[in-house]
Amino acid sequence: MAIDSIRQMTVEEYFAYDEAIEYKSEYIDGEVIPMTGGTLNHSAIMLNASSELRQRLKGSDCQVLTSSMRIRVGPTRYLYPDFSVFCGAPETDERSINLFNPLLVAEVTSPASIDYDRGAKLHFYQSIPSLRIYLVIDQQQPLVELYERQDAAWQSREYAGLDAIVPLLALNCHLPLAEIYAGISF
C-alpha cells in the first residue's frame, strides 16, 4: 500500500535512498512513494498465494519471488509487487536488484490501495513487454481479478468465491481461491 510521495529524486538518488532506508519505496517519474505495512490478512494472503504458486511451479523453469524484489516498469518507474514470477533466465541489473522480465506480478489490495492497484499500477505493469499475468487479489473478500495478455490485447476476468479456480495459462497451472484464502476470516 502506498502513501503520499515525499520528494523528487533522480533514479540514481532513488536507488541510493531505497537501499539506505528500512522500508521500501516505489519510484514513479521522479517521485518517491514510501510503502506502508500490511495487515495480518494481507500478509497471510500474500504468503498463501505465492507459496501455492511456488508449489505448482516446481519442476518448471519458473521462480516465484517475494515482495522484496523490485520490478523495473520503465526507465523512471520501479515498483514492488506483493509477489512476482519469472521464467527462464532472470533479466536484472548488474547487482540483481531490479527484475526486468516478470511474467506475473500480483498485488493484494487494501481499502487504501485498491484504486491504485486497479488503475495506475495496472497500466504501469501492462507496459512491461514480458508480463503476461497481473493478479489483483482482494483482501476483504474471496475475489481475484485476472488481467492476462493474449497476443497484443489484455483480457480481464474475475473469480469470486472459495470454489473458484484462477487459470494461469501462461504458467500452465491453476490457482484455487480456497488455497489463496486458507485460514482467512472475513
Asked whether residue 81 is assigned to any structural domain, the reply reads yes
- Beta carbons of 145 and 135 less than 8 angstroms apart: yes
List b or e across 15-54, with b for residues whose CB sees 16 or more CB atoms inside 10 angstroms.
beebeeeeeebbbbeebbbebeebeebbebbbbbbbebbe
- Beta carbons of 64 and 54 less than 8 angstroms apart: yes
Q: Alpha-carbon distance 92 to 186, whole Å?
A: 38
Which residue shows C-alpha cell 482467512? 184
User: Left (φ > 0), alpha (ψ -120 to 50) or beta: where does 10 sit?
Assistant: beta
CA pseudo-torsion sign 131, 19, 17, 1: positive
Q: Alpha-carbon distance 160 to 177, whole Å?
A: 8
Question: In which domain, by residue range, is 126 found?
Answer: 38-180
Asked whether residue 134 is assigned to any structural domain, the reply reads yes
Count of alpha carbons within 13 Å of 37, Cβ hemisphere only?
3
Q: Alpha-carbon distance 56 to 130, whole Å?
A: 21
Domain count, the chain: 1
Asked whether residue 4 is assigned to any structural domain, the reply reads no
pLDDT at residue 185, as a whole number: 92
Asked whether residue 67 is assigned to any structural domain, the reply reads yes
Q: Alpha-carbon distance 60 to 122, whole Å?
A: 27
pTM for this prediction: 0.92
| Partner residues linked to 160 by β-bridges | 143
Asked whether residue 157 is assigned to any structural domain, the reply reads yes
Q: Alpha-carbon distance 139 to 186, whole Å?
A: 9
Q: Cα dist. 151→81, 130, 131, 144, 154 in Å?
A: 24, 12, 12, 22, 8
CATH of the domain at 90: 3.90.1570.10
Tens-level pLDDT at each residue, the chain (186 residues): 444 556 789 999 999 998 888 888 999 999 998 887 788 999 999 999 999 999 999 999 999 999 999 999 999 999 999 999 999 999 999 889 999 999 999 999 988 889 999 999 999 999 999 999 999 999 999 999 999 999 889 999 999 999 999 999 999 999 999 999 999 998
